[in-house]
Amino acid sequence: MSFSVFFAAVSITAALTVPAGAQEPGPDPQIINVSARSTVSLDGIWKTIVDPYENGYYNYRMKPLDAAKSYFADNDFDKDRTKLFEYNFNTDGTLQVPGDWNTQRLQLYYYEGTVWYRNIFRYSPEPGRRVFVYFGAANYEAVVGLNGEKIGKHTGGFTPFNFEITDKVREGDNSLIVKVDNKRHADGVPTVNSDWWNYGGLTRSVMLVETPETFIRDYFVRLKKDDAGKIDGWIQLDGKDASQTVVIGIPELKISHKVRTDENGYAEFEFKAKPELWSPENPRLYEVTITSETDKVADRIGFRTIETDGTRILLNGREIFCRGVCIHEEMPYGTGGRAYCREQDLVLLGWAKEMGCNFVRLAHYPHNEDMIRAAEEMGLLVWSEIPVYWTIQWENPETYANAESQLADMITRDKNRANVIIWSVANETPHSDARLKFLSSLVARAREMDPTRLVSAAMEKAVVGKDLLTVRDDLADIVDLVSFNQYVGWYDGTPEKCDRVNWTFDIDKPVFITEFGAGAVYGRHGDRTERFTEEYMEDMYERSVNMFRRIPGLAGTTPWVLKDFRSPRRQMKGIQDDFNRKGLVSDRGGRKSGFYVMQKWYEELKEQYGE
């Protein structure tokens, strides 16, 4: 079966198949750039009930309860004590939203299961306005109810989703209840095994988004591919009066371009322009307004080109070296926890800038929108990834549909960000025909949605001969980069092996090392041959840099990882303590020896490439 036929077959199957146990519809199409719209924040303290047996959702025969008999009903025991209740939101615990439950309550540290969230908010609907409840993310499965009625369900822990509640929200008090379940599943994306903490909860902001009856739901504004003298893109309206005149305005460029949407609310546009191009040295953003007859949205958008030429990555036609680092979305200080706000993002990105980075790999899932926008403002290029990680069910159409949905949501949210130059579809996946078809279909989908960026995946190295390494993966023929993880000196031998190893590649594409590194406890010292010491890390990083200088076509590196992060796989007491210790910065903010090795090399590269 050809890749295109497989893609079509999977898409059709996904569209027709309802996942087992699903009783609720999925979310409405994603509203982008919600921060620029009329919103009502629902962040803060929410009441919660921990429900490991899902008593509030299933009866004792494991059949889904009617909403009126479930916890969605939000019956109040305190107001009517003649009725039988076995739950009470009023007297149960609370959790901060956004936030994960694992680091907010000690007893939920390892918890994987269901937690019910309730927020009672006052609202006054405005005639002629539509209302949506928007979730930045909920890990992993969320079933949403309002005023005793189930609204719908979303699966996937790192992408935004929204439901329209115009005809469900009421004057006065409203009860919003969300069943969040972070149990791992073999058919999930990611699957049951990963190397990061499975933080559960409403991990990003929740808000009400208010719109006109017909509003600007989505848009793509970019430099035209293969013609940097033009800006093109498209606009999508949502509502009954879909055919409207829409104006794209860029005041600094004296541009006011009109276009007419069709009966489905869609219009493409193209016009001449010569914007100052966005780059790490000059992260130029323009105020862009999109104005319809009924709505207006403003955004700050940068314009740039990204392409490859043989083994070179070209940004705005000039060769660059991606001086990067991998980042997990975890709080910069303390005992871990999912990072969710701009202040935390700025600390993490600030460390990357301090190290000399012009690039960050946001692994292994879509990070919060503020992280992308802050990086754009700071001049940091971005690799953005979905959690197709290690071994998943490659032949399962529902698993593919889940992965494609997460990819589409990621691209939908962040396609207008100039700093995102690479969409990644996977990390360290084992070779098979089914896996190649699965990932090839994701690559095709990414290119269909966004032909202006590079698409790749973190592959793995292969042995050619004694001390000679390469990448042997048919996926490398399909993606834009020969990008791969390698741990010579840590999982593969000791640091001295870096002195002997050479690399060869039989494909004319940029070479990108997406992971390398060594574990070390900040402040732990010993001989350079002793694992988990700063001396071992320093030696390994210095030898790795020397090895990299011998790699033909090397166009970027992202060491693993910026900061120590929580992982239940890392169990050595007194050293790991549930932390992956490969961070160049400790969980308390201390810079380790490898940080300064990379900082020195990146300064050399900056001078070499004239940045």
Q: What percentage of residues in the chain have a pLDDT greater than 70?
A: 96
Q: How far is CA 250 from the centre of its chain?
A: 29
316 and 426 in a common domain: yes
Domain boundary among 262, 293, 324: 293
Domain-embedded: residue 8: no
Rounded to an integer, the average pLDDT of 477-481 is: 98
362 and 235 in a common domain: no
Predicted local confidence at residue 304, as pLDDT:
98
Name the phi and psi angles at 408, rounded to 5: -65, -40
Predicted local confidence at residue 398, as pLDDT:
98
Alpha-carbon torsion (204, 206, 210, 214), positive or negative: positive
Predicted local confidence at residue 537, as pLDDT:
98
Predicted local confidence at residue 3, as pLDDT:
34
Rounded to an integer, the average pLDDT of 517-546 is: 98
Predicted local confidence at residue 23, as pLDDT:
59
Domain-embedded: residue 12: no
**pLDDT tens for each residue of 363-387:** 999 999 999 999 999 999 999 999 9
279 and 336 in a common domain: no
Predicted local confidence at residue 14, as pLDDT:
35
Do 352 and 562 form a contact (C-beta atoms < 8 A)?
yes
Predicted confidence (pLDDT) at residue 449 exceeds the cutoff of 70? yes
Predicted confidence (pLDDT) at residue 82 exceeds the cutoff of 90? no
362 and 284 in a common domain: no
What is the domain-level CATH number for residue 368? 3.20.20.80
Domain-embedded: residue 5: no
What is the domain-level CATH number for residue 153? 2.60.120.260
Domain-embedded: residue 520: yes
Beta bridge partners, 58, equal 64
**pLDDT tens for each residue of 498-516:** 999 999 999 999 999 999 9
Predicted local confidence at residue 248, as pLDDT:
98
Domain boundary among 293, 324, 351: 293
Predicted confidence (pLDDT) at residue 353 exceeds the cutoff of 80? yes
524 and 482 in a common domain: yes
389 and 497 in a common domain: yes
Predicted local confidence at residue 81, as pLDDT:
80
395 and 336 in a common domain: yes
Residue 610 CB contacts under 8 Å (≥ 6 apart), including other chains: none
246 and 126 in a common domain: no
Predicted confidence (pLDDT) at residue 26 exceeds the cutoff of 70? yes
Residue 61 buriedness (CB in 10 A; 0-12 / 13-18 / 19+): exposed
Averaged pLDDT of the chain: 95
Q: For the chain, first and last CA: distance in Å?
A: 46
3-class SS of residue 189:
coil
Predicted local confidence at residue 9, as pLDDT:
37
170 and 26 in a common domain: yes
Q: Which of 79-83, 242-246, 311-315, 559-563 has the lowest mean pLDDT?
A: 79-83
Q: How many domains does the chain have?
A: 3
192 and 83 in a common domain: yes
381 and 250 in a common domain: no
**pLDDT tens for each residue of 544-557:** 999 999 999 999 99
**Containing structural domain, residue 268:** 215-293
3-class SS of residue 580:
strand
Q: Is 0.85 surpassed by the pTM of this model?
A: yes
What is the domain-level CATH number for residue 274? 2.60.40.10
Domain-embedded: residue 302: no
151 and 225 in a common domain: no
Domain boundary among 293, 321, 339: 293
Q: What percentage of residues in the chain have a pLDDT greater than 90?
A: 93
**pLDDT tens for each residue of 132-144:** 999 999 999 999 9
